[in-house]
Amino acid sequence: MPDVILLEDEPVLRQELGEFLEELGYAPRCVSSLQEFDRHFDPDRHHLAVIDLGLPDGCGLDLIQRLRQEGQRVGIVVFSARQTSADRISGLGLGADHYLGKGCDLDELAATLAALVRRLGLQQTPASQPAPGWTLEVGPRRLHIPGSPDVPLSQQDLLVLRCLMSQPGVNISRRQIIEALGFDYLDYDQRRLDTQMRRLRRRVEDLSGQTLPVKTLRNSGYCFYQPAQVLA
């Protein structure tokens, strides 16, 4: 998955977004000013950028314009509190690929970045292709899907899929999955698991165009219903 450079001056939001990007499988570089961006931006590594506009040492629009004038082909997503039509038109006109307002669902940011990855052809191809079929590669933390790009995984998603794909066709209880995640079943808010499964399904579909073959067993658990293998 391509590296992302995140430019956001608000510390709490910067940390939240950085952690979210890590969960999606990206390797984010988080910076807080235009000066820091210039110091850390590497066009050979950073093929995606998430950029705020109101910054302590200038405006993100000037940065976007400069990047485009320099011929940088980095995919740019504006993530800003400025949300008027004029702001959006200006941002897109200067070279941003997408313009999102702060306060949007972070899943929209995830889907936007996934669309950029596909459009810019940034999917990574493994050096050695796994055997045909749904294959979970534990070491690289990725899901190989027949006829589709591989899907990078967060550590939590990896643990869930390893639990399910180790026993394809078998009904796996919610308790088994929660304990595989390292939590106490009795203390765990099970809505968190439901949210994680929704995000995982959406991520697989956004990046590969395929439906994750996991069926929900009402009030009991999940089942991975296609042939599968897990590789260390």
Q: What is the mean pLDDT of residues 63-87?
A: 94
- Residue 187 C-alpha from the chain's centroid: 28
The dotted CATH code for 3-119 is 3.40.50.2300
More confident residue, 133 or 74: 74
Predicted confidence at residue 127, as pLDDT, reads 44
Percent pLDDT > 90 in the chain is 63
- Residue 17 neighbours by CB under 8 Å, 6+ apart: 6, 8, 28, 30, 50, 79, 106, 109
Indicate whether 98 pLDDT > 70.
yes
Q: What is the mean pLDDT of residues 120-135?
A: 64
Residue 189: count of CB within 10 angstroms of its CB: 10
pLDDT tens digits, one per residue of 152-187: 999 999 999 999 999 998 999 999 999 999 999 899
124 confidence band (pLDDT: 50, 70, 90):
low
Domain boundaries, the chain: 3-119, 134-231
Predicted confidence at residue 179, as pLDDT, reads 93
Indicate whether 129 pLDDT > 60.
no
- 131 to 136, 146, 222, 231: CA distances (angstroms): 11, 9, 24, 10
Least confident of 50-59, 132-141, 169-178: 132-141
Indicate whether 130 pLDDT > 50.
no
- Residue 222: helix, strand or coil by DSSP? strand
Indicate whether 131 pLDDT > 60.
no
pLDDT tens digits, one per residue of 1-53: 678 999 999 999 999 998 888 878 787 899 999 999 999 999 988 999 999 99
More confident residue, 151 or 124: 151
CATH 1.10.10.10, domain 134-231, yes or no? yes
Indicate whether 140 pLDDT > 60.
yes
> What's the whole-number average pLDDT of the chain?
89
Predicted confidence at residue 133, as pLDDT, reads 78
CA dist., res. 123 & res. 109, Å (int): 18
Q: What is the mean pLDDT of residues 112-131?
A: 72
In the chain, what is the greatest distance between 2 CA atoms, to the nearest angstrom? 57
More confident residue, 123 or 35: 35
